[in-house]
Amino acid sequence: MNNFPISRRQFLHTTMALTAVGTTALTAAEKPRWDIGCFNRPWGAWGYDVALDGLKAGGFKVTGLVGDHKGDIGLSTTATPEYITTLKRRINDRGLTVNVAWLKTQHKGPVADSIAGCRKLIDYAAQLGMTYLLSGGVSAESQYENYYATMADAAKYAADKGVNMVLKPHGGSSGASDEVLKCLEKVNHPNFKVWFDAGNIIYYTGKDPVTELKPIAKYVTGFCAKDCAAQKTAVMIQFGDGKVDFKAVFKVLKEAGFNGPVMIECTAPAETPEQVTANALANRKFLEKVFSEI
């Protein structure tokens, strides 16, 4: 049964028409000029200021709040507006901007509580000047309907704040392309798109990222870059050490008109923050080489 208030054809046409703020599609002949940023996650063994210093030392200009640090709550419903103001200053003082954060929502209780928490996070994202909020769906099937309703409200509320709601493959309700497409249907709002994560496709499902990308490529407005060798194996590895065929993945994205951004999420672990920075730079060079070849 079709649960859309509009037809599937109308929905697909509408969502294809909306692109990320300030982007235009690539033509087939153009070389991609996708911006490469880096999340704070690789420096998770140290404080957030150490991560920011590492990002600055690596020459990154764009970061995202994906990963936790002892002593920092990040983008959280327990944060205060004053904390968010200080957080923004800490980021900007390193010459960095923040474009995305992990959306930490709860869906065990009443949907009204989920919606209220999500709206608070959207307000904070707007305060930080973010373009995106990144959701990973939910794992428990009993929470799916709560999640869909919360995201439908969030998509509308965030659009008025200039924030794009995006979904990444993360198991459960966003495991692979079938689940992602169902999320898009259920949320049914043009301000709810996809950030692809090829490594997570392998990690959570064991499926082929290229195969799973093709049905949803036209909805992808960002990319979380990580590698993975097999289902439920390490993702904190260097690009090229796993099974993700980055060249094939980005070729599909280019053909779909993808225009970035690309955010490095993972690197191999290291004993010092400086070694993490070196690993992040190596992964950036890996991506730059891939982009030059497609």
How many Å apart are CA 233 and CA 220, to the nearest integer?
A: 25
- Residue 214's Cβ-count burial label (10 Å; 0-12, 13-18, 19+) is middle
Q: At what angle do helices 144-161 and 177-187 cross, to 10 degrees?
A: 60
Task: Return the pLDDT at 21.
Answer: 39
For the chain (294 residues), the mean pLDDT of every run of 10, in chain order, is 42 42 52 93 98 98 96 95 98 98 94 97 98 97 97 98 98 98 98 98 98 98 98 98 98 96 98 98 98 96
- Domain annotation covers residue 28: no
- Domain annotation covers residue 117: yes
Task: Return the pLDDT at 290.
Answer: 97
- Domain annotation covers residue 27: no
- Domain annotation covers residue 21: no
Q: At what angle do helices 111-128 and 81-92 cross, to 10 degrees?
A: 40
- Domain annotation covers residue 4: no
Cβ neighbours for 16, distance < 8 A, ≥ 6 positions apart: 218, 219
Q: How many domains does the chain have?
A: 1
What is the CATH classification number for the domain harbouring 281? 3.20.20.150
Comparing C-alpha atoms, which of 127, 124, 89 is closest to residue 103?
A: 124
Task: Return the pLDDT at 10.
Answer: 45
Determine which helix (DSSP H) or strand (DSSP E) holds 224, and give its type and residue range.
Answer: strand 220-225
Note the pTM of the prediction, 2 decimals.
0.89
Can you give the residue range of the structural domain that contains 229? Answer: 35-292
Secondary structure letter of residue 187 according to DSSP: H
- Domain annotation covers residue 24: no
How many Å apart are CA 63 and CA 61, to the nearest integer?
A: 7
How many Å apart are CA 175 and CA 46, to the nearest integer?
A: 30
How many Å apart are CA 193 and CA 183, to the nearest integer?
A: 10
Task: Return the pLDDT at 25.
Answer: 52
- Domain annotation covers residue 45: yes
User: Is residue 183 a contact partner of residue 151, using CB atoms and an 8 Å limit?
Assistant: yes
Cis before 261 (ω within 30): yes
Structure token pair of residue 191:
């301000």
User: Is residue 166 a contact partner of residue 135, using CB atoms and an 8 Å limit?
Assistant: yes
Q: Note the helical H segments in the chain.
A: 8-17, 48-57, 81-92, 111-128, 144-161, 177-187, 198-205, 209-213, 246-255, 273-292
- Domain annotation covers residue 3: no
Task: Return the pLDDT at 23.
Answer: 42
